[in-house]
Each structure stands twice: as structure tokens, then as C-alpha cells.
Amino acid sequence: MYCEPSLADQFMKLGLDFKIIDMQTDPSTLRQLDAKAASGKHQISLVTDSSIMRGTDFRAPIHGITLILAKAFTTERDAD
């Protein structure tokens, strides 16, 4: 989910299986976005930086991934 940092903070407080994706995230983690957690549920990734949205391949190798946009892009380049 691409959202404002304040919204990401609110989601993290819910105690669900959310993961913040930022510049320090291990690239191997991004290749496993379609893996289920030990609870059997899919992990939800939160992204607050448009440069990460632009530079990351969010296609899952096995299952499809739904990308939810809860924040507007600031430029047309970000939206591409």
C-alpha cells in the first residue's frame, strides 16, 4: 500500500502483519512479497516514498499482488 507516513503509522498500530518497505529493505524480501506469513495470511507492505514505488518491481512470481494507492503521486513520472 502506497500511503502517507501518518497513515502507515496508524496501520502499524493495528498489530497486523504489515511491513514498511524503505531504502534499507533487503532486496530478497521484495522477491518474496507473495509468500504467506506463519499465520497463513499474506503480508501487507507499506510504502511511503514515491522513489521506492517507481524503482521496485512489485510483480509476484507465483501469485498476483494488489497494489493499493492511498496517496496521490506528485508528478506524472511517479505515476508511470
DSSP 8-state symbol, 56: -
CB 65, CB 59: distance < 8 Å: yes
Every domain of the chain and the residues it spans: 5-74
Q: Among the listed ranges 17-21, 38-42, 69-73, which one has the minimum average pLDDT value?
A: 69-73
Instruction: Mention every residue, 6+ apart, whose C-beta is less than 8 A from residue 36.
Output: 42, 43
pLDDT tens-digit series, residues 48-76: 887 777 666 666 666 666 666 766 667 66
Q: What is the pTM of this model?
A: 0.61
Contact 53, 76 (CB under 8 A): no
What pLDDT is recorded for position 35? 73
Mean pLDDT throughout 14-40? 79
